[in-house]
């Protein structure tokens, strides 16, 4: 549970505890006073609407300029773009001075889009030749500089998204890798995110780094004919290692390593998501098994699982995990390693085993959510539902005609929704009973 949710929940619970005689009025005041001072308001509904409005205004301006571009003198076009970019960033500075940081973020976001449009339109006007990736690099340098100078969270996230897109264009479309320029851009964006002390920006940086690693290794795997199932098993075990490492980081003393604790919390959700994606894609990877040697990738997977178990044991010793959670890490990691070693010509058994891993992992994550781990409940329910739908699509959906498939699918969806509701409710009751 993050600090803002904890403080809100505590403020709601304390009056009830005082009425029951568990604490005194002075004790309630002392508890509330001991909480750290709040930060700026979160990215609430007003900020979301402001960002959407900003994007609509930006698209409207771009559409108008694009429609009348050929009728404008070249010098006037350039002045118009400079004025638009200046107005966006100037407006952001004004809104920041009025203590409206989220609206200032929206203005910086508009400035980033305006800068991108400016590069494209100026290149078109003056018929500049060059690679598309070079234009992205030019925009990325400006976006990172703007994010740093304006201290904008949304600007940082936008720059990280640009780094991801640059990596995709160079690595996937141009088939050049590893793309270390994209890695450098992600690391710079991540450094800005840490400096801004923004959870949203830090998570975006973690996701961008994960994207770079996955895209780069997939490119190398395609170039050197790496075995897909061994690679996915390795990624799944590495994700478990990152998750347990993040959990161990959250158990450090708050007064000695506050930034490390925050980073640990930031790693939890992307790591669990990475495991579920890797285990899910493992089902598909078995269809494209090339029969190549899996020794290296399984070796890395085993080493990662050992590290994950050591970290999980440390987290359990510090009270952050139960013994059953450590056993679940061992079972899930061992299962994906065994599936990675699957060599049978008939891949149905391996795919079924991988699907079972996803379902069991989802049930474990739901129990983690009810035990107090953030996102575990929602992520587990989503993974469980997605896997059941996938199994339906590749089995029943391919065996019966379309009309009957829709009918059966609708019934299964309703049954699945009821099952998830009952499962969530049952686990909540068990958790409440154990806490009592």
pTM: 0.72
* For residue 396, pLDDT beyond 60: no
DSSP code for 37: P
Q: How many domains does the chain have?
A: 3
Give the mean pLDDT of 198-227: 84
Same domain membership, residue 192 and residue 81: no
Same domain membership, residue 238 and residue 111: no
Same domain membership, residue 337 and residue 255: yes
Residue 63: inside a domain, yes or no? yes
Residue 199: inside a domain, yes or no? yes
What three-state secondary structure class fits 73? coil
Q: What is the pLDDT of residue 433?
A: 54
277 Cα distance to chain centroid: 12
pLDDT digits (tens, 9 = 90+) for 304-363: 999 999 998 898 888 888 888 888 889 888 888 888 777 655 566 667 777 777 777 777
Residue 356: inside a domain, yes or no? yes
Give the mean pLDDT of 11-25: 77
Same domain membership, residue 155 and residue 112: no
Same domain membership, residue 259 and residue 331: yes
CB-based contacts of 188, cutoff 8 Å, min separation 6: 144
Same domain membership, residue 165 and residue 116: no
Domain boundary among 80, 101, 129: 129
CB distance 168 to 215 below 8 Å: yes
Residue 3: inside a domain, yes or no? no
Domain boundary among 163, 194, 224: 224
The two tokens of residue 403 are 């009309």
In terms of Cα–Cα distance, which of 237, 211, 228 is closest to 283? 228
Query: Which range marks the domain in which residue 114 is found?
Result: 48-129
Same domain membership, residue 391 and residue 245: yes
Residue 364: inside a domain, yes or no? yes
Same domain membership, residue 198 and residue 61: no
pLDDT digits (tens, 9 = 90+) for 232-252: 888 889 999 999 998 888 888
Same domain membership, residue 405 and residue 345: yes
CB distance 279 to 236 below 8 Å: yes
pLDDT digits (tens, 9 = 90+) for 22-66: 778 777 777 777 665 544 444 555 666 666 776 677 677 667 666
Same domain membership, residue 380 and residue 267: yes
CB atoms within 10 A of CB 8: 11
Residue 105: inside a domain, yes or no? yes
Same domain membership, residue 316 and residue 194: no
* For residue 303, pLDDT beyond 90: yes
Q: What is the pLDDT of residue 73?
A: 74
What three-state secondary structure class fits 190? helix
Q: What is the pLDDT of residue 183?
A: 92
The two tokens of residue 421 are 């509701």
Same domain membership, residue 237 and residue 291: yes
Residue 278: inside a domain, yes or no? yes
Distances in Å between the Cα of 314 and the Cα atoms of 238, 265, 310 are: 17, 16, 6
Domain boundary among 191, 224, 257: 224
More confident residue, 90 or 227: 90
pLDDT digits (tens, 9 = 90+) for 125-136: 666 666 778 888
In terms of Cα–Cα distance, which of 205, 144, 137 is closest to 170? 137
Percent of the chain topping pLDDT 70: 72
């Amino acid at each position: 549970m993050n600090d803002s949710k904890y403080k809100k929940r505590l403020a709601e619970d304390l009056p009830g505890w005082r009425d029951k005689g568990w604490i005194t009025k002075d004790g309630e005041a002392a508890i509330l006073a001991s909480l750290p001072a709040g930060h700026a308001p979160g990215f609430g509904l007003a900020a979301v609407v402001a960002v959407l409005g900003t994007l609509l205004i930006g698209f409207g301006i771009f559409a108008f300029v694009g429609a009348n571009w050929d009728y404008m003198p070249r010098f006037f076009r350039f002045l118009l773009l400079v004025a638009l970019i200046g107005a966006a960033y100037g407006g952001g500075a004004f809104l920041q001075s009025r203590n409206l940081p989220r609206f200032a973020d929206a203005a910086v976001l508009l400035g980033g889009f305006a800068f991108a449009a400016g590069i494209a339109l100026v290149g078109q006007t003056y018929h500049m030749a060059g690679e598309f990736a070079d234009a992205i690099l030019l925009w990325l340098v400006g976006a990172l500089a703007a994010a740093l100078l304006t201290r904008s969270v949304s600007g940082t996230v936008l720059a990280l998204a640009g780094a991801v897109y640059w990596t995709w264009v160079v690595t996937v479309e141009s088939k050049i890798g590893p793309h270390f320029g994209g890695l450098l851009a992600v690391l710079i964006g991540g450094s800005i995110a840490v400096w801004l002390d923004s959870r949203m920006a830090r998570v975006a940086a973690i996701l961008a780094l994960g994207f770079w690693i996955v895209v780069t290794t997939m490119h190398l795997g395609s170039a050197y004919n790496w075995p897909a199932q061994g690679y996915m098993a390795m990624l799944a075990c590495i994700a478990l290692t990152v998750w347990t490492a993040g959990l161990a980081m959250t158990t450090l003393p708050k007064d000695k390593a506050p930034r490390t604790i925050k980073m640990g919390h930031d790693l939890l959700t992307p790591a669990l998501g990475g495991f579920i994606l890797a285990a899910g894609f493992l089902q598909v990877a078995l269809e494209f098994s090339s029969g190549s040697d899996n020794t290296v990738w399984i070796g890395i997977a085993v080493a990662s699982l050992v590290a994950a178990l050591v970290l999980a044991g440390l987290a359990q010793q510090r009270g952050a995990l139960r013994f059953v959670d450590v056993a679940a890490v061992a079972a899930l990691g061992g299962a994906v390693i065994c599936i990675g070693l699957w060599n049978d010509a008939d891949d149905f058994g391996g795919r079924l085993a991988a699907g079972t891993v996803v379902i069991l992992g989802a049930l474990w994550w739901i129990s983690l959510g009810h035990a107090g781990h953030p996102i575990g409940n929602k992520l587990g329910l989503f993974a469980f539902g997605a896997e059941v739908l996938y199994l339906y699509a590749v089995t029943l959906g391919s065996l019966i005609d379309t009309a009957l498939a829709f009918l059966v699918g609708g019934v299964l969806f309703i049954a699945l929704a009821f099952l998830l509701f009952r499962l969530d409710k049952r686990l909540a009751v068990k958790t409440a009973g154990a806490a009592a």
